[in-house]
Chains A and B, each alone.
Chain A
Amino acid sequence: MNALKPYGDTLNDGRMQLSFTLPVPCSPRAREAALQYLRKVGLTDPQVVYSEALDEGFTFFVVYATSDAVIDYDTVKGAEKIEYMSFDEINEFIKEKIGRKIVVVGACTGFDAHTVGIDAIMNMKGYNHHFGLERYPMVEAYNLGAQVPNEALLDFAREVSADAVLVSQVVTQKDVHIDNLTELVELFEAENLRDRTILIAGGPRISDRLAMELGYDTGFGPGTYAEHVATFIVRKMAERGIS
C-alpha cells in the first residue's frame, strides 16, 4: 500500500476525529478560528460538531475533518513483532539455557511515587491475569517500590548481582524522566556495571526507541505484561552467554 490515509467509513476518505480547546470565549468567532486553525494544520473540510464554553475565556471543540496527506506504507518500518514466551516457557528456558535463577530488580526512581507500572510487572499477583515476576520460580525478583534514588538502585543491584534492572517512570512533568533515566545509565557506566546488567525502562511515555536512545537495552510502554519483560531478559542473557 503506497497511499495510506485514515479510514472513516470508506477507503481513503481520510476522515479524522479531534477534540481540543482554544483559549478564547465561546462565540461564532471562536468557531471560525477553530476552522481556520484546522485548515492551517493541513486538514480540509473541517466540521465543528460540538463547541462549548469551558469558562468565560476558553472553548472546547469536537471536530471532524479530512486529511489529504498520504504516506507510503511500503517504506514504513516498525519494531519487529516479537513472539513472547509464556510463564512456563520462560521458567523452562531459564533452567535449560541459563541454569540458575535470574535476579531482577525493579524500582520507580527519582521523585516518581507511582508504583502501578512496576507493580504490574513485579508483584506476585501481576496484572490482568498475567502473573508478575515474583511468581516466577526461576526469577529472584526485588521490587524496591517508589521514589528510589538512582544511587540506591545501583547499590542494591550490585549487592544482589542483578542480571536485569527495571526502571519505571509513570508520572513525570516537563520531561524530568528523561534526565532521571539518563543519569541511571551514566551511574551504571561509571561503576562498570553497564555491560553485565540489562537495563530496561518502562512507563506510559516510554517507547523502545526512546529507551534505546537513552542507552537502555529496551523500553516497554503501555500494555506490557511480565512475560514480555521476562522474555526479553532471558533471550538477551542467552544471547550474551550469561550464566
Chain B
Amino acid sequence: MNTRLGLNEDRIQRARSLAEEIAHPVRSYIERHTTVSVERATLRLFGLDGCDEEGTPTANLALHQLRDKVPHGAARYLLGALVKTGMTVEELDRAVAEGFDLAAQGLPDQGALEAKAAELVARVRHTLDTNREYRLQKIDQHREREHSPLLYVIVATGNIYEDVKQARAVVYQGADIVAVIRTTAQSLLDYVPHGATTEGFGGTYATRENFRIMRKALDEAGEKVGRYIRLVNYASGLCMPEIAALGALERLDMMLNDSMYGILFRDINMYRTLVDQHFSRMVSAYADIVINTGEDNYLTTSDAYEKGYTVLASELINERLAFDAGMPSRLQGLGHAFEMDPAIENGFLYELAQAALIREVFPSCPLKYMPPTKHMTGNIFAGYALNTLFNLVARMTGQEIILLGMLTEAIHTPFMQDRFLAIQNALYVFKNAASLGEDISFRENGIIRRRAAEVLDKTVEFLEIVAGKGIFESINQGLFADIKRSPSGGKGFDGVYEKAPDYWNPWENMLKEALFKGGKK
C-alpha cells in the first residue's frame, strides 16, 4: 500500500482484527432479531406503500394488525392475502388503507407463498437492477466532468418545490451531489410520511414522492450540464430500513447511514439501531448506493485534537459492520471532519495528518469529508478562510466526497449565494492546488507523520478497551462521544423482536443470496 505516512502496517491489521472482534456479538444478535422497521421496509419493497385518509402509511397499518406475528415475519401475511384474495399489490394496498385486515385472512400453503414471493421479488428486483444500471451508465458517460473530490451540497428549505429551485442552481454552479436534509423531527418518527411536502423545520420530510420530485429535477438539471447528479437522503433514525428501501426504489445514490449515530446522538435504542442498520445496508449494497457514515459528529461533541482517534475507531467498526451486511469498500463512504480549533498552532498539519491517515487506512473507500462547523463563529469572512483550508486538505489527501462548508454556518440555513461562494472556493482550490498532494512527501519523523502514528496508536488502544468490555457495555459506559446509552434505554426498543424459528423474509433471503453468494448480476 501507499505508505506516505510511514504507518505501521501491523497496527492497522491489529485495529481491523479488534473491529472484527467487537462486531462479532453484534452479528449474532442481528441474525436472531427483526424490527418493526425491517418488516415495514419488507412490505414496502413488496409494494405496500400507500396511506389511509389520515396519512398513516399502509405499512404501519399492516404492522399494527400483525403486531403479534412479527416474529414470524410480516411478509407471509401480505403474500397470503394476495394469494387468497387474488388482488394485485396495488389493490391490496388500497384495501389495507380502507381497513382490510391482513391478519384475519389465514394462510395458504407455503408453496403458494413462495411462488407469490418469487414473482413479486423478481418484479421489484428488475426496478432495482434497472436503477443501478442507469446510474452506472450515466456516471460512466459523464465521468470526465465530475469534480474530485465530488462537491456535495445540502438544500434544506422545508418545501420540496423550493428545494428543487435551489438544487437546480447548485447544479448550474457545479455541484455533483445534492442532499435534501430532513426535517429535524423525522429521525424520531416511527413512520415515513406520504406524498409531496411543503412544510418542514430545518429541512424537508423524506418521503417517496419527495424523492421522486428531486430525482427528476436533478436528472433534468444534470442532462443540461452533462453530469450525473447524485441524490442523497438519510437512512437513519427509527425508519432507517424503510428509507433505504424507498431510496433504492427511487434511485437515490447515497444514504447517510451510521451504525452508532442514532444510538449516541438521537437516543435510539442500540439493539434497534444495530438490527436496522444491517438490513438497510444490505438494501443499499444491492442497489449500489454509497453510504455516508457520521463520524463527524464525534468531533462536534468532543475536541477534535484530543479525540481524533474515536473517528478512526468508529470508522473501523462501521467498515466491519458494512462488510457483514455484504457491502463492499467502494460503497462505504466513511466519514470524518475538519473540526480542530483554528487557534491551535500547526492545526492545519494535524488536520492534514488525520485526513491522510484515514485515506491510507481505507484506500478503497469513497471517504466523506465534513467541513468545519464547531468553530464557525458568525464571522463569515473568517469562516470562508477556514473553509478554504478545509478544501485544500480534502484535495491534497484525495478525499472522494466533500460536503462544502458554508460561510454562514451557525447563522441560518444557507442562502443561495452561500452555496455559490462555497463552490467557487472549492473549484479555486482544486484547480490551483490540483497536484500538490502528489508533489510533496511528508518528512520522516515530522509533525504530520508523528501525529498520524499517534492517532493510530490511540485508536488501537481504544479498540482494545472496547473489545474487552464488548460494544454494548462500551456504549453503556459512555466510551463513544462521552455519551452513555443503556442497552434497554432509548427509543424504539419495543419495536425489536426475536425471530421465531419459522421467521420468513423473502427479501432478506434474496439479499443474502445476492450479496454473499454471488447472486447479484
Contacts and interface: CB of A to CB of B under 8 A. Distances in A.
A128 B416 contact: no
Contacts of B184: 111-113, 147, 171
Interface string A28-69: 000000000000000000000000111110101000000000
Interface in B449-489: 482-483
A55 B482 contact: no
A172 B417 contact: no
Nearest to A125: B303
Contact of A54 (B202, B303, B417): B417
A45 B6 CA distance: 60
Given A128-B341, A171-B184, A172-B201, A52 B410 contact: no
A2 to B, nearest CB: 30
B378 A58 contact: no
**Interface band, chain A:** 20 to 34
Contacts of A222: 377-378, 410
Interface string B342-358: 01000000000000000
A223 B375 CA distance: 11
Contact of B168 (A55, A147, A223): A55
B180 to A, nearest CB: 14
Interface string B250-262: 0000000000000
Contacts of B411: 204
B301 interface: yes
A204 B202 CA distance: 14
Contacts of A176: 201
B503 interface: no
21 contacts: A21-B416, A53-B172, A54-B173, A54-B416, A55-B168, A56-B172, A60-B420, A111-B185, A111-B201, A115-B301, A116-B300, A116-B374, A119-B300, A123-B482, A128-B341, A145-B267, A147-B184, A147-B185, A171-B202, A173-B158, A173-B202
Interface of A: 19-21, 52-56, 58, 60, 111-113, 115-116, 119, 123-125, 128, 145-147, 171-174, 176, 204, 222-223
Interface of B: 158, 168-169, 171-173, 183-185, 187-188, 200-202, 265-267, 300-303, 341, 343, 373-374, 377-378, 410-411, 413, 415-417, 420, 482-483
Given A58-B169, A113-B265, A171-B184, 17 more contacts: A21-B417, A52-B420, A55-B168, A55-B173, A60-B416, A111-B201, A113-B266, A119-B300, A123-B482, A145-B483, A146-B267, A147-B266, A173-B200, A173-B201, A174-B158, A222-B377, A222-B378
